[in-house]
Structure 1
Amino acid sequence: MRRLLVRARASRALRIGASVGVVIGLFAIAADRLYPLPTPGRSAPFSLIVTARDGTPLRAFPDKLYIWRNPVALTQVSPLYVEAVIGYEDRAFWWHPGINPFALVRAGAQWIRHGHIVSGGSTITMQVARMIDPTPHTMAGKLHQILRALQLEAHFSKREILSLYLNYAPMGGVLEGVDAASRAYIGKPPSNMSHAEAAMLAVLPQAPSLLRPDRYPERARQARDKVLHRMADRWPAPDIADALTEPVYAQTIREPMLAPLLAERLRRGARGKLRVTSTIDADLQSTVEALLLERVRTLPRHASSAALVIDNATLEVRAYAGSADFSDLERASHVDMVRAWRSPGSTLKPFLYGFALDAGIIDSESLLNDVPQSFGGYQPGNFQQSFSGAVSVSEALTRSLNVPAVQVLDQYGPDRFVGKLRQGGLKLRFPRGATPNLAVILGGADTTLENLVGAYASLARGGMAGSPRLTPDAPLDEHRMMSAGAAYIVRDILETGGPLGRAIGERGTSRGIAWKTGTSFGFRDAWSIGVTDRYTVGVWIGRPDGTPNPGYFGANAATPLMMSIFSTLPDAVVTSHRAPPPDVTQAQICWPLGNVVGAQPDALCAVQRRAWLLAGVAPPTFPDPVRGGEPILRYTIDTVTGLRATSDCTDHPLRQAESPLWPVALEPWLDERSRRLDPPRWAPGCAPPAGGAGRLAITGASSGEVVRSAYGAAAPQVHLGVIGARGVVGWLVNGTLAGRAAAASGWTVQFPKPGEYAITAFDESGRYDRVTIEAR
């Protein structure tokens, strides 16, 4: 009977206990729903941080209260820091339910004994509760904190709670979380801490304003040493001894500001991300920004600069500087000149020559005319306002001559050229209503530094261009710009000057770097783009508002900066020999016809040039627009006198002969070496009369004449006329264009110093005459 009574009482107690448990549980569930936990991060969101490829912050965008709070995972934090936090703050963290009753009882007893709070008895969970739901430092506040801690333990795992602490712990000033504190104070990610650094940052949330190591290093040291002594049972004694001797040092808190314009660009495309990892190399970025800042100090007041460095293998951007000095508003520092549309000047020329190689209309030494020419009314001039006469493709490209480039574009076609660029990924923007024309090759359309660098990378990537990649997950966007063979030839010309330049070391100071400059009309933009096996570097200098910068052009402004950047790049220049693709060969070609030596009689080969050929093709020289017809003169020679004659003016036997015809426009520039295969002079009685039909002649002076200054005159001068000319006449003095004038006006030539002067007059039909005058 007694046993049954005991069982009944036990059963009733169990029922009562279960009922109480259910009621408590229901109460807890109801309370949890009525008073839900604040969502971590809603009231205190993380900063959006843009980092370099190694995690180094480039720029952080704080919350509306300007709090720097960088998201970090538990696995990204040094175990030493985690051990120090738990060992100093809450050794029972892994087993208590959110509160440590023993610690609370101890804290209460100390409060009763001393009349004030000696230790709070807070666990890490309770501290997290206060971080996400702040409460006053009162008994009611403490109770609220305890209940929130219990809620946290019910909703989150221990590792999740610890991660919240690592992300939201106050670290002094505007810093919250171990990632922001580690990078701001000790300049390194939280994964790489010493024992002393871990201890110093672990104690900082206890009194973040009073223990800041950048302001109060002695207080920080004392607090750190307290943690180190507390960890004596967990860390090896030698490590603690070394840590105690380590001085406390913290750098001044300052906002990370590397590649700020790139960071802003990536922020706009973050789409809710808290961390955006770029492809930037932080050390290289710092170096490039320092070089730009140093260079811009030598530029006019409102000028700026930009630079872009990409890895050719992956097209990843390693350095991105959109302006020279982000803090200098006078230089429009907020304008990203990597993306700005500007006139590219002559930087498109390598692509034109590459396309023409692929089209089979030129080889590397094809004869071009660097002389005053009119292309349907368009009359381009060279940057130096002088002309060189007969030049090869290699010479025209390395010297960035304008007239030969327009000549090639005229043969290739402007529409075809622009379309080919677009297929290769290089976009051009034309003025409203404009269409592609010959001026496009000299900067008549706009593009961006980013587009140019992606296109130039094709010279090191077998002709494959691509869009520069800003993040590791960006797709590889590639486009065929030109064939691998054309890319090899163009790069070799830009690097060495081609076969001739390679032989004489024309570009020896930059071996390994193929580069091209550009200057837009009115000195508005100065460009320099360089390519090596590993990197492509682009530099722009100018005024963001498009105002001219007289005297600053690609060669003297942008190229030195580009070369300085290359000098800082690891393994930028590879000096080992690059074997040409199978379809690229060398051969001797002949001027003026353009054929391979041996493909025509020696009598038609006035000058030999060693050339790169693509697919074995040595195309003929472009047709002469003035003379037309076959570029070979066939005539007869008097076998007795060896002079030119016809059967009408001699009884001697005649033999057939032929000579190559140079383009008429080149005639005034040809030297004796080029003329060695000219026809012999006419035999007496056979030559056409001087000044006859079809001839142009200079009047007012004759070759060999000596002119002197008139009394009181500053320099001698002579006024020359011309007969037999058509339209406007051009006047050259020692190979430099002095000017143009109507045939009836003549030209006054001044001689600034004593010497011999070669003066040439030529008209629109290519006819010319030359006199040599000595000034004394």
Structure 2
Amino acid sequence: MKIRRSISRKQKVILGCSIILLTWYAFCLPRQLFHFPYSTVVTDRNEELLGARIASDGQWRFPPRQTTPDKIKQCLIEFEDRHFYRHWGVNPLAIGRAFYQNLKEKRIVSGGSTLTMQTIRLARNEPRTFGEKIIEMIWATRLEFRYSKEKILSLYISHAPFGGNVVGLDAAAWRYFGHSAEDLSWAESATLAVLPNAPAMIHLSKGRKALLAKRNRLLKQLLAKGKLPLSDYELAISEPLPDEPHPLPQVAPYLVSRFYQEKNGEYNVSTIDKSTQKQIEELAERWSNEFNRSDIRNMAILVIDIRTNQVVAYCGNVHFTRQKQGNQVDVIQAPRSTGSILKPFLYYTMLQEGSLLPHTLLPDIPININGFAPQNFNLHFEGAVPASEALARSLNIPSVTMLQQYGVPKFHHFLQQIGLKTITRSPSHYGLSLILGGAEATLWDVTNAYANMGRSLLKQPQTSARLLLNTPETILPGTFEPGAVWQVFDAIKEVNRPEEIDWKAIPSMQPIAWKTGTSYGFRDAWAVGVTPRYAVGVWVGNATGEGKPELIGARTAGPVLFDVFNILPSAHWFERPTGIFVEAEVCRESGHLKSRFCADTDTLLILPAGLKTEACPYHHLVTLSADETHRVYENCANAEPTIRKSWFSLPPVWEWYYKQHHPEYKPLPPFKAGCGEASLLPMQFIYPSPNARIKLPKQLDGSRGFLTVELAHSNPNTIIFWHLDNTYLTQTQDFHKLSLQPAPGKHSLTAVDSEGNTVSTTFFIE
């Protein structure tokens, strides 16, 4: 009984020790084998290398591979571990042979390590001792249980040293041969297979004869075993060794830098098309050389495929390698003053909500709103302009008038909804200047918004464009409706092109909905265009913010935009959305819905919301004397034979400028004496506008300057009597302008014409 108890106790001890050893063995291998920083690698959609950034430890170590190319696999196994597929991590015969050789030579001449053991050694990175060798053997057998042979081989080839600061097959292939590992020849594969064996002693700059001999010996072994055809062998041994390491590709360097900041140490397969990207970069280089003559140093181009929602070209700037001020800025991500590039969004919102119709007349006259006095780019006024034409010509004053009518807070909220993330301050901070460049946006956000407009016409989801394949899309809270987008694009595809030709007359030229923008002080030039296939955004300027007189969107960014579209495949124009529009009779002269007095009308397709807009307020039924020189009231005692007629009449200030550009316009004739007062006030102040706040400039001698007031009257021959604060000043005829020097404070200016009509305005001198 005592013997049985003794044996049972031993068995328990043995069993317990076995469990402990098995448990230790099961968990001896770390979950993550390698703990090294990796290079940031970016490829195009076809996994062609665009560029890379070195790892934080100064090594060119690409992220681990998943597979090993067949040529390098055969070379590596033949050279390092011929029994790789037949052992369990340790080759006893190789260990025994190494022990015998080392004992015979009385020094370490062979390690007997398998590829699995070498993988463990690379992971542990410990000094080579007999104790370390035992640990490597144990871990190697455990690694064989965890991973397949192919996985172990890929781990080894991803972390093997190839001389200098080059680690891993991918980095070595690009640094030594200038192409990917998948494209290695037999000679190149054999060269890389023998390098990890002694990378410190044999590399490109020294030991070249030994390296060449080892390479050719390996190739001969492959030939002898039938793994390498004779013709391939003869070509391989004739290939010379590379001379110097190759620089890595520098395609889309600003995109690579962006991934380096956001996805450091990862292998990133982007949506970029390398061929298109290189063409865009060459185009940007040519234009940059042209702009440099005017000291315009920076440019950015973004191309989005709106059907797939993928960025196909990302040119964040030019001259990446030059260490000049501003060249390292990725302008695609930099907030810049928007200029007029946001105007189509305001036109869209007002169409969508039924605040105007596409061709509604808008005022283009001098305005001053609480000290804000915008000017058109050409410093001229046209009195009244159809909304679509004002957008196509990028007139500032009609846009400000539209925003004043629509409301800054509503438009501010809409811009945030469509993804303009840099508009973060309150609506009151921007005010009406929001539509003229008072806010900043990025080329990324703006081009995305235009792309989403185009995508709405393709009936596809509206999201933020993708730079990485297989990444979730960001759903935008604000979406565009195709009906209003169609009307916006219909207007801005009529924008005059930089080449100043009739593009419609040339069948090969595709329609493009495009818009330019120029910021205050000529600091930013924008151009964004959309076709059914692509959205292209271009920015030109100086990243440092310096203004240049030549920095005008239509003259700099515009020509670049059309050169980009000439590179890209063309597409047929968008199909007009169906089931959205309704027919309506619209006044041909005012663009409003037809009133009962409009004579010339067109039947147009408009959005249903447009049916609630105002009927034409500019056509009136008037009664004229027979010679049409006077208006009269019916039953007037002095009436002569009369005719009734519909008459198109604009407000006095609109009329003042409108008739200068429209000689066909006929002002209403005056009332016949004694036949009553005008139903429409015949005069209006051009300047100052009501409640304007005015600062008088100082003259050269330091004295206070003058304020020039101006008034428009429908009858140019009338006499105007001027009063300031109930004090009579003077009278004018023909040209109703007057220079005043009022004291600081509130003032009231009154004008009375010879017919007794009166108009007043209040202003403040600061």
Shorter-chain TM band:
0.7 to 0.9
Match of 1:566 in 2: 565
Q: Distance in 1 between matches of 2:723 and 2:520?
A: 28
Match of 2:467 in 1: 470
Q: CA deviation at 1:347?
A: 0.7
Q: Is the 8 A contact 1:170 1:205 kept in 2?
A: yes
Q: CA deviation at 1:86?
A: 0.8
Q: 1:180 aligns with which of 171, 177, 180?
A: 171
Q: TM-score, normalised by structure 2?
A: 0.75
In structure 2, runs of 5+ residues without a counterpart are 1-7, 686-707, 712-718, 725-734, 742-757, 762-766
Query: Match of 1:539, as an amino acid?
Result: V
CA deviation digits over 1:676-705, x for unaligned, max 9? 57478579988999xxx96799xxxxxxxx
In structure 1, runs of 5+ residues without a counterpart are 1-14, 624-629, 698-718, 729-738, 746-763, 768-776
Q: 1:171 aligns with which of 162, 166, 170?
A: 162
Flag the 1:536–1:427 CA change in 2: closer, same or farther, 3 A. same
The reply on whether 1:320 has 2:314 as its aligned counterpart is yes
Q: Distance in 2 between matches of 1:727 and 1:427?
A: 51
The reply on whether 1:724 has 2:720 as its aligned counterpart is yes
SS of the residue 2:379 aligns to: coil
Write the mapping of 1:192-211 to structure 2, written as runs, cut at 5 A.
192-208=183-199
Q: Distance in 2 between matches of 1:47 and 1:657?
A: 81
Q: Is the 8 A contact 2:456 2:482 kept in 1?
A: yes
Q: TM-score, normalised by structure 1?
A: 0.74
Q: Is the 8 A contact 2:317 2:327 kept in 1?
A: yes
Q: Distance in 2 between matches of 1:585 and 1:383?
A: 36
Flag the 1:412–1:430 CA change in 2: closer, same or farther, 3 A. same
Deviates more, 1:192-201 or 1:167-176: 192-201
Query: Match of 2:123, as an amino acid?
Result: I
Q: Is the 8 A contact 1:589 1:618 kept in 2?
A: no
CA deviation digits over 1:61-99, x for unaligned, max 9? 544431121223343x21222122112221111223444
- Count matched residues: 679
Q: Distance in 2 between matches of 1:282 and 1:727?
A: 72
Match of 1:631 in 2: 618
Q: Is the 8 A contact 2:64 2:159 kept in 1?
A: no
SS of the residue 2:453 aligns to: helix
Q: CA deviation at 1:611?
A: 5.9
Q: CA deviation at 1:580?
A: 3.6
Flag the 1:726–1:330 CA change in 2: closer, same or farther, 3 A. farther
The reply on whether 1:457 has 2:451 as its aligned counterpart is yes
Flag the 1:651–1:549 CA change in 2: closer, same or farther, 3 A. closer
Match of 1:41 in 2: 34
Deviates more, 1:334-343 or 1:26-35: 26-35
Flag the 1:246–1:633 CA change in 2: closer, same or farther, 3 A. same
Match of 2:362 in 1: 368
CA deviation digits over 1:623-680, x for unaligned, max 9? 8xxxxxx5344432345x5654646575643333331222333313445995757478
Q: CA deviation at 1:446?
A: 2.0
Flag the 1:131–1:364 CA change in 2: closer, same or farther, 3 A. same
Match of 2:152 in 1: 161
Q: Is the 8 A contact 1:466 1:479 kept in 2?
A: no
Query: Match of 2:167, as an amino acid?
Result: E
Match of 1:665 in 2: 653
Flag the 1:596–1:674 CA change in 2: closer, same or farther, 3 A. farther
SS of the residue 1:478 aligns to: coil
Query: Match of 2:580, as an amino acid?
Result: D
Match of 2:532 in 1: 533
Match of 2:65 in 1: 73
Match of 1:748 in 2: none
Flag the 1:85–1:423 CA change in 2: closer, same or farther, 3 A. same
Flag the 1:686–1:57 CA change in 2: closer, same or farther, 3 A. same
Give % identity: 30
The reply on whether 1:92 has 2:89 as its aligned counterpart is no
CA deviation digits over 1:219-256, x for unaligned, max 9? 66554333222112242524444544556557733355
Write the mapping of 1:391-410 to structure 2, written as runs, cut at 5 A.
391-410=385-404
Match of 1:8 in 2: none
Q: Is the 8 A contact 1:539 1:561 kept in 2?
A: yes
Q: Is the 8 A contact 1:259 1:285 kept in 2?
A: yes
SS of the residue 2:333 aligns to: coil
Match of 1:310 in 2: 304
SS of the residue 2:547 aligns to: coil
SS of the residue 1:338 aligns to: helix
SS of the residue 1:528 aligns to: strand
Match of 1:614 in 2: 607
Flag the 1:116–1:765 CA change in 2: closer, same or farther, 3 A. farther
Write the mapping of 1:323-402 to structure 2, written as runs, cut at 5 A.
323-375=317-369, 377-402=371-396
Q: Is the 8 A contact 1:258 1:285 kept in 2?
A: yes
CA deviation digits over 1:705-751, x for unaligned, max 9? xxxxxxxxxxxxxx9999627699xxxxxxxxxx9974569xxxxxx
Q: Is the 8 A contact 2:412 2:427 kept in 1?
A: no
Q: CA deviation at 1:522?
A: 0.8
Q: Distance in 1 between matches of 2:53 and 2:646?
A: 78
Q: CA deviation at 1:295?
A: 3.5
Q: Distance in 1 between matches of 2:256 and 2:142?
A: 39
Flag the 1:101–1:635 CA change in 2: closer, same or farther, 3 A. closer
CA deviation digits over 1:241-293, x for unaligned, max 9? 454455655773335554444444444544x9743443333443444344444
Deviates more, 1:423-432 or 1:198-207: 423-432
Match of 2:115 in 1: 124
SS of the residue 1:540 aligns to: strand
Query: Match of 1:351, as an amino acid?
Result: F
Q: Distance in 2 between matches of 1:439 and 1:410?
A: 10
Flag the 1:288–1:173 CA change in 2: closer, same or farther, 3 A. farther
Q: Is the 8 A contact 1:210 1:216 kept in 2?
A: yes
**Cα RMSD over matched residues?**
4.7
Query: Match of 2:431, as an amino acid?
Result: N
Q: CA deviation at 1:449?
A: 1.8
Q: CA deviation at 1:452?
A: 0.9
Q: CA deviation at 1:402?
A: 0.6
Flag the 1:250–1:25 CA change in 2: closer, same or farther, 3 A. farther
Q: Is the 8 A contact 1:465 1:479 kept in 2?
A: no
Q: CA deviation at 1:400?
A: 0.8
Match of 1:7 in 2: none
Query: Match of 2:227, as an amino acid?
Result: W
Q: Is the 8 A contact 1:524 1:546 kept in 2?
A: yes
Q: Is the 8 A contact 2:44 2:274 kept in 1?
A: yes
Write the mapping of 1:506-517 to structure 2, written as runs, cut at 5 A.
511-517=510-516
The reply on whether 1:524 has 2:523 as its aligned counterpart is yes
Q: 1:227 aligns with which of 211, 214, 218?
A: 218
Flag the 1:102–1:575 CA change in 2: closer, same or farther, 3 A. same
Q: Is the 8 A contact 1:528 1:538 kept in 2?
A: yes
Match of 1:483 in 2: 481
CA deviation digits over 1:42-79, x for unaligned, max 9? 3x44334344433344554544431121223343x212
